[in-house]
Chain A
């Protein structure tokens, strides 16, 4: 069934009514040089049957390996009820309905999502989601430049132990907007950011400092000290967090004396399957004082003429349909369906359930590290506190080891050597609550054989 409601006759009649010769003529103000004639690399449309076949082929290529890969996307148990509820007709639309009079259920769900994220991060406001964690960081950097009106440098300090893909995406999205990203090295022995790397920037005009907790190596940064450094040096603090870790760790709103200014991350750990890499969704929360610079939609709770509670879009003057080119961004709530899953997931687990998942993941990762480091040729790279991921150093090339493991049905982790050559043969491993003691024993046995 086509979802384009206009027939060719409709289009012809509308063009005739406004006196335009063709649809293309409506776009004449865009210079020809800027218009893309054809989308190379985008194949012809497939039928539903062909698409289904292609997706099945690709899924079977992934197989059902035993997975110890994290690095930003995590295999957690999703209660069967989550997607059974999400796919009910009342929720099953990827798009935010704008009409408050017709969409109270969806708007209430988004409002509850925002309340949960604000509470989890200990911040005052949340938007209704962004595309993913990486683009959320890009949006946070742009937002910081708008919000920090006293800073003129648009310079952002980013530790090297922030997810390197996030930084790459942030650079790509903000290209042409004159942001400067200064990458700060981590301290070699600890794998975390020392305030001495920050002190090199003391007294300079810095717009924002980014810190990821836990960092890309799974290690816990000294977020209180870094947040206080940012405040003392008149920079905003952007926190990138794994939302699940907040069931155990101090929330960004309570870091240091003033807390983080903007908190972003990927919501995938909450009810979103790995699905070969996406779609996931990004989240963003902030302090009330920055809300007018926040991108994305925000749902508010209000009362109607009779005093009854209701939900509606709020603070719309930030958005493109009112502010046009000066809008805070062109983000809407594309990821609505995934947010619906996350909201149901969080409400089913509750805070006690999330804490159990986080603690079980942490326990299983410790067991994994203990089992793997007993193997000759495997060492733990950093000894500091961490959350459910760890860097191991191997005695040979990581990609060869991962290939050998894959042949035996194991996804062994993330090869850090391409993005962090100074770490040597470094492998990032992860075990969530879904990895049993038997799974871990199986990995250790096969890795021992591979490294023999």
Chain B
């Protein structure tokens, strides 16, 4: 069973979002997603300053067997990315998907979008159904 922290929000396409105390949102892919992809060999994160829209392709994760788009759970501007760590050690996404394996941070332009994201319980259901 993969880990699904209860303090995060999720998309059914397996991204997580954490609202920080300053209102910015940190984004990554879930433990389930990293497990399904297998060993990551490359991560492409969005440039700082890029404007993202909710549900739009923002990053790419490439494993030994597949490459997938990562969608942004919120609209807004990219204020930081984890390219420095991930370009040398993309496997951080495998070993610590909710911590050191974060992908990028967004300053949301519409905080109302956050309420439409899945909570841990709803996402757990998505993962369970994907397993059937």
Which A residues are within 8 Å of any B CB, using their own CB? 149-150, 292, 317-318, 322-323, 326
Contact = CB atoms under 8 A, between A and B. Distances in A.
Nearest to B57: A326
B68 to A, nearest CB: 9
13 contacts: A150-B47, A292-B42, A292-B44, A317-B42, A317-B62, A317-B63, A317-B66, A317-B67, A318-B67, A322-B66, A322-B67, A323-B67, A326-B69
Interface string B69-101: 100000000000000000000000000000000
A149 B42 contact: no
B63 to A, nearest CB: 8
Contacts of B67: 317-318, 322-323
Contacts of B63: 317
Contacts of A149: 47
Contacts of A317: 42, 62-63, 66-67
A292 B62 CA distance: 10
Nearest to A318: B67
Nearest to A150: B47
Contacts of B62: 292, 317
A40 to B, nearest CB: 39
Given A150-B47, A317-B63, 13 more contacts: A149-B47, A292-B42, A292-B44, A292-B62, A317-B42, A317-B62, A317-B66, A317-B67, A318-B67, A322-B66, A322-B67, A323-B67, A326-B69
Contacts of A292: 42, 44, 62
Contacts of A326: 69
Contacts of A318: 67
A73 B35 CA distance: 51
Nearest to A289: B87
Interface in B17-53: 42, 44, 47
B38 to A, nearest CB: 12
A179 B69 CA distance: 24
A326 B59 CA distance: 13
Nearest to B44: A292
Nearest to B69: A326
Nearest to B87: A289
Nearest to B41: A317
A403 to B, nearest CB: 56
Contacts of B66: 317, 322
Contacts of B47: 149-150
B52 to A, nearest CB: 14
Nearest to B63: A317
A150 B62 CA distance: 21
- Per CB-CB distance, the 10 closest pairs between chain A and chain B, nearest first, are A317-B67, A317-B62, A149-B47, A323-B67, A322-B67, A292-B42, A322-B66, A150-B47, A317-B66, A292-B44
A436 to B, nearest CB: 54
A150 B42 CA distance: 19
Residue from the set B47, B63, B66, B67 with the largest chain A CB neighbour count within 10 Å: B67
A323 B44 CA distance: 14
A322 B68 CA distance: 9
A23 B63 CA distance: 35
A154 to B, nearest CB: 15
Contacts of A322: 66-67
Nearest to A293: B44
A244 B69 CA distance: 41
A317 to B, nearest CB: 4
A291 to B, nearest CB: 10
A330 B62 CA distance: 19
A135 B83 CA distance: 32
Contacts of B42: 292, 317
Contacts of B44: 292
Nearest to A327: B67
A147 to B, nearest CB: 11
Residue from the set B44, B62, B66, B69 with the largest chain A CB neighbour count within 10 Å: B62
A364 to B, nearest CB: 48
A323 B63 CA distance: 12
A323 B47 CA distance: 21
B56 to A, nearest CB: 13
A317 B47 CA distance: 21
